[in-house]
Amino acid sequence: MPAPRLVDRHPEIEAEELIAALVPPPRFAGVRFGTYVPNPGEPTQAAAVTAGQRFAQGVGPVAKQGLFNRIFSKRVPDPAPGLYLDGGFGVGKTHLLASIWHAVPSAEKSYGTFVEITHLVGALGFAEAVRRLSTHRLLAIDEFELDDPGDTTLVTRLLTELTDAGVHVAATSNTLPDKLGEGRFAADDFIREIRALSARFTVVRVDGPDYRHRGLPDAPDPMTTDEIDAHAAAVPGSTVDDFDELCAHLAKLHPSRYGKLVADAPAVHIKGLHAVPDQDVALRMVALADRLYDRAVPVAVSGAPLSELYTDEMLRGGYRKKYLRSISRLTALARDAGAGFGR
């Protein structure tokens, strides 16, 4: 019997499911501040732990004004403060963000990637998303990116509404908040919105090398087609896809569905890997790599090495950090697959 394929899956996500899914992914379900191991040579990492703990302790209940106060009070409450963890890929920012989420002692909190939050707004409508999220004490946003003007305006409005309502926002990104969108669209046209967004965050820098590569070898060499088939047969339920077919399938799915696409796969196998043809395909691969990494799904490939997935031109462009993060995460997953195959 042929191995199952991701291209045969067409996951759907209902609005209520989107709300229920706003929790840290499986890889980060058990992390805490105490499980984060700062690099002794990078003092900003220990400082970031302290800043995250302090921020979590300061997250209070959402303020609710009574009718009298709403009618007669002239004072507008200050917006809830936000925390912005900035740094390169592989320094543990997502670990710290999930630790903040776990440390806030309330069920009224949400955690999602940037693409999941924007999709939630699209699915519910802006007003309904604000209504639901404004009852929460915390909104944690991972992989914060502003890739186009529409997202800039949408997220600025959303976070303005939520922080005004008393919701604390913590976020991670590889880009300082006043530099979001730089090199990707005409940021000058949106500088006012970007600065307004930046003003709501305290920036905490997290420096250091990619922990996924500390003392570890490079990604294993690509497998042969026969090795891919043998590895898939040895891991019941794992998927096997042709790279080009998988890329075409991803184009038909919103990236918010990628997590559900791979959620129950014990391993993913991709045949015929080669450099992506354009930036649209590249960004979909970034989103897929992130969801595979979140769920700790081993990845085995044949064809070109993972280091050649993105072209040199792409690695020099505005999405450089996204692409490098993607390669880093896929390399870690390829090691996982190789370890189970005697590599």
What residue segments make up the domains of the chain, in order of their start? 31-209, 212-339
pTM equals 0.80
For residue 16, pLDDT beyond 70: yes
Residues 310-329 have pLDDT tens digits of: 999 999 887 888 888 899 99
For residue 70, pLDDT beyond 80: no
For residue 250, pLDDT beyond 70: yes
Q: Give me the pLDDT at residue 277, please.
A: 95
Other Cβ atoms closer than 10 A to 151? 20
Q: Give me the pLDDT at residue 19, please.
A: 84
Q: Give me the pLDDT at residue 341, please.
A: 55
Q: Give me the pLDDT at residue 72, please.
A: 46
Indicate the range of 61-65, 122-126, 142-146, 209-213 predicted with least confidence.
61-65
For residue 85, pLDDT beyond 80: yes
CATH number of the domain located at residue range(s) 31-209 in this protein: 3.40.50.300
Region 17-25 average pLDDT:
88
Residue 162 near residue 130 (C-beta atoms within 8 A): yes
Between residues 238 and 61, the one the model is more confident about: 238
Which range among 85-89, 143-147, 213-217 has the greatest average pLDDT?
A: 85-89
Q: Give me the pLDDT at residue 183, please.
A: 43
In this structure, what are the phi and psi dihedrals at residue 58, rounded to the nearest 5 degrees? -90, 0
Other Cβ atoms closer than 10 A to 202? 10
Residues 188-234 have pLDDT tens digits of: 444 556 566 677 788 898 988 777 666 555 778 999 999 999 999 99
What's the CA gap between 218 and 53, in Å, rounded? 34
